[in-house]
Amino acid sequence: MADSYVSNTGVKHLRAIKALSGHTLDGVSNTELAQSLKIPASGVTRIMATLIAEGFAVKLDNGRFAPSVALLQIAQRTANELSHGSDRINELTQRIAAGSR
């Protein structure tokens, strides 16, 4: 099983990133993250400090946490790549269909 070589700390950080999803504008509180991740609030504080230091999260003016612009840029680049790939597939499909008539 893959979990045998994955650090528990790393898993918590990744789960925290997932928990930030959908909270870009309003953020999510330390308490909400603690409940979602089933860890103490002090653990959330440490995890979020690491994510902020590494550029994956930000602390909003309201004290809540949100995905950072850098993290959102990663998501956008992935969406752009997939869209470009889809466009290429559609173009090739049209060319194949046109040639088979």
Model pLDDT for residues 77-99, shown as the tens digit of each residue: 999 999 999 989 999 999 899 88
Q: Is the pLDDT of residue 1 over 50?
A: no
Q: Residue 59 and residue 94: Cα distance in Å, rounded?
A: 47
Alpha helices in 1-101 (DSSP H): 8-20, 30-37, 41-53, 69-99
Mean pLDDT of the chain: 91
